Amino acid sequence: MKSSVPLLDIITRYIVKRKGKKIRPMFVFFSAELYGGITNSTYRAATLIELLHTATLVHDDVVDDSNKRRSFFSINALWKNKIAVLVGDFLLSRGLLVAMNNNDYELLKIVSNSVKEMSEGELLQIEKARNLDIEESIYFEIIRKKTASLIASCCACGASSAGANKTIVEKMYKFGETAGIAFQLKDDLFDYEKNMETGKPHGIDIKEHKMTLPLIYMLCTMKYSDRRRVINIVKNHSDNHEKVADVIKLVNESGGIPYTKQKMLEYRQSAIGMLHEFPENTARESLEKLIQFIVERKK
Amino acid sequence: MKSSVPLLDIITRYIVKRKGKKIRPMFVFFSAELYGGITNSTYRAATLIELLHTATLVHDDVVDDSNKRRSFFSINALWKNKIAVLVGDFLLSRGLLVAMNNNDYELLKIVSNSVKEMSEGELLQIEKARNLDIEESIYFEIIRKKTASLIASCCACGASSAGANKTIVEKMYKFGETAGIAFQLKDDLFDYEKNMETGKPHGIDIKEHKMTLPLIYMLCTMKYSDRRRVINIVKNHSDNHEKVADVIKLVNESGGIPYTKQKMLEYRQSAIGMLHEFPENTARESLEKLIQFIVERKK
């Protein structure tokens, strides 16, 4: 990521320090091992996807205007929106060039499609947040696009980089997509769980009018007048901490949490079922453990 | 640009209405005609580059926090930063996919490199705006990266799409780069010219601490105490309209404008000189007229 711009180098060094879980590269490497082993192209796929993921996190800092991300200050708060947009664009182009200069065209096709799906998914979420849409099928469409499509690409790129054929690459895509939906369901559950630092749930999704499954389930099972009251809070009083806390309490009492957990476990099971049709080796075991981690993780 | 997201479709329809000069596609088409004629791949190159250019304009709306762009309200002001970032990402990925799905790998390599250069150039400009750097060579480095690299890509992609060989594609890149520098010099001159609506110069660059050539020339020729005074205004009082107007007046008296015009004409001449080494046909005449337009245009 070294560039000829000193300011950019300061920022990329800073980004490298914000270590994430690196779940996406793990999907890439295990998927390659599953079908023939890691190649140089696998490393480039993992690099491309992690750079792209980082670019979207940097752009998200603009998007959500959040002041913190994983306890470090966000790029946005420190260097303002304008720089965050440009750094995101730079990271994305660096990722593309790594693959482009090595003729990894299959990887590029898979990943470019995810870039499109991710931006569509985020925009669909914003649109639905405005109408406070509570259709479960649309919720699943949003998380499939905004989150699952990139994890799907990890698995497809990993297999493709190891030389797997088109049918297998497509199966791996489907497997990653299913695991990615479980991943996002877990993320959406976090918003209703007690925070380790404050002892209170975040409620960030509600504050941003994001209709996630626990809330959608509750609203769908409520009687009309109660539903109107909750929707009114989300729509007009989402900056009121007490009212948001009330909604969180209601969701916890509604059965929305166990319902979402149940769905998450179904997707986990479905992903593991697909996995068992793949060749049996240590990489398959690793992928199974990774999926287990996804639904059990504490952050 | 049709998508499955209604909100996105509303925005892209809105973007299509904001017609620009379409200078970049013209460079692509004329460069293809110059070397064998327009192919389907030429259309995709023009599409890719115009989508990419539009994506950077949409991201610029975030970047500059400007409320207006070409008299329409910016996407940013109407739909906020978050959507502008996502729409920019969507347009960029759509452009990449058009080329990717048609195996236009040479075009993609050329264009991805420009994406990187453009973000580096913008970041370098921000960095230098902070220090109020007045080195002429750095100014030219910034405009080469942020503006000229994409116009260079237009000419290289045009020729490449028509089947030109590597040597020619590189020559066309150099030609476009030279024309692109003249283009940006013209843009930077606009900031010091009387606005057609208000009768006053914009002075936006000064307000954003952008050190463009007219100002750099003046500062380099001033005696120390005067230079300190002007730098103090740009640094600490760029929100004061009267003081900015004073600086614009000083620049106009300093010889910075004719100096910049002189440089612009030198780059124009250099580009035309390169052009005259290319085959003589109607496309070459069109390119010469396009370069003439660039330095004479009124907006």
The distance of B4 to chain A (nearest Cα, Å) reads 8
Say what the pLDDT of residue B68 is.
47
Say what the pLDDT of residue B71 is.
43
Contact B176, B152 (CB under 8 A): yes
DSSP element (H, E) containing B181: helix B166-190
Task: At A73, give phi and psi (nearest 5°).
Answer: -70, 145
Out of A68-77, A104-113, B133-142, least confident range? A68-77
Contact A274, A288 (CB under 8 A): no
pLDDT band at A213 (very low <50, low <70, confident <90, very high): very high
Which residue does chain B place closest to A114, by CA atoms?
Answer: B93
Phi-psi region of A65 (alpha: psi -120 to 50; beta: other; left: phi over 0): left
The residue type at A189: L
The distance of A70 to chain B (nearest Cα, Å) reads 20
Task: State yes or no: pLDDT of A71 exceeds 50.
Answer: no
Which residue does chain B place closest to A89, by CA atoms?
Answer: B119
Inspect the interface and report whether the beta carbons of A126 and B63 lie closer than 8 Å: no
Which residue does chain B place closest to A142, by CA atoms?
Answer: B5
How many other β-carbons are positioned within 10 Å of the β-carbon of residue B10?
12
Token code pair at residue A241: 């901490």
Mutate: best of A53, A82, A137, partner B, most B CBs <10 A = A82
Q: Cα(B247)–Cα(B265) distance, rounded to whole angstroms?
A: 25
CB pairs under 8 A between A and B: 139
pLDDT band at A58 (very low <50, low <70, confident <90, very high): confident
Q: Enter the DSSP assignment of B252.
A: H
The distance of B142 to chain A (nearest Cα, Å) reads 10
Q: What is the mean pLDDT of residues A156-184?
A: 98
Inspect the interface and report whether the beta carbons of A123 and B87 lie closer than 8 Å: yes
DSSP element (H, E) containing B162: none
Say what the pLDDT of residue A261 is.
97
Say what the pLDDT of residue B193 is.
86
Which residue does chain A place closest to B76, by CA atoms?
Answer: A63
Task: At A65, give phi and psi (nearest 5°).
Answer: 50, 35
Say what the pLDDT of residue B178 is.
98
Name chain B contacts of A108, Cβ cutoff 8 Å. 96, 100, 108
Q: Cα(B25)–Cα(B45) distance, rounded to whole angstroms?
A: 8
Least Cα distance to A159 among A118, A98, A114, A110 occurs for A110
The distance of B81 to chain A (nearest Cα, Å) reads 6
Q: Cα(B23)–Cα(A276) distance, rounded to whole angstroms?
A: 55
Q: Enter the DSSP assignment of B68.
A: E
Say what the pLDDT of residue A16 is.
82
DSSP element (H, E) containing B26: helix B23-34
Residue B204's contacts (CB-CB under 8 Å, 6 or more residues apart) are B191
Instruction: Assign B45 to helix, strand or coil.
Output: helix
Say what the pLDDT of residue A247 is.
93
pLDDT band at A131 (very low <50, low <70, confident <90, very high): confident
Inspect the interface and report whether the beta carbons of A126 and B7 lie closer than 8 Å: yes
Task: State yes or no: pLDDT of A75 exceeds 70.
Answer: no
Q: What is the mean pLDDT of residues A93-109?
A: 93
Q: Enter the DSSP assignment of B1.
A: -
Token code pair at residue B138: 């750095």
């005449």: which residue's tokens?
Answer: B285
Task: State yes or no: pLDDT of A70 exceeds 50.
Answer: no
pLDDT band at A69 (very low <50, low <70, confident <90, very high): very low
Low-confidence residues of chain B, pLDDT below 50?
66-71
How many other β-carbons are positioned within 10 Å of the β-carbon of residue A76?
25
Say what the pLDDT of residue A134 is.
82
Percent of chain A with pLDDT over 70: 93
Inspect the interface and report whether the beta carbons of B122 and A88 lie closer than 8 Å: no
Give pLDDT tens digits for A270-287.
999 999 999 999 999 999
The residue type at B278: F
CA distances from B148 to A133, B151, B180, B264 (A): 45, 5, 4, 13
**A interface residues, B as partner, C-beta within 8 Å:** 3-8, 56, 59, 62-65, 81-83, 85-90, 92-94, 96-97, 100-101, 103, 105, 108-109, 112-113, 115-116, 118-120, 122-124, 126-127
Q: DSSP string covering chain A, please?
A: ---S-HHHHHHHHHHHHS----HHHHHHHHHHHHTT---HHHHHHHHHHHHHHHHHHHHHHHHH--SEETTEEPHHHHHHHHHHHHHHHHHHHHHHHHHHTTT-HHHHHHHHHHHHHHHHHHHHHHHHHHHT---HHHHHHHHIIIIIHHHHHHHHHHHHHTT--HHHHHHHHHHHHHHHHHHHHHHHHHTTSPPTTTSS---HHHHTT---HHHHHHHHHS-HHHHHHHHHHHHH-TT-HHHHHHHHHHHHHHTHHHHHHHHHHHHHHHHHHHHTTS--SHHHHHHHHHHHHHHH---
Task: State yes or no: pLDDT of A76 exceeds 60.
Answer: no
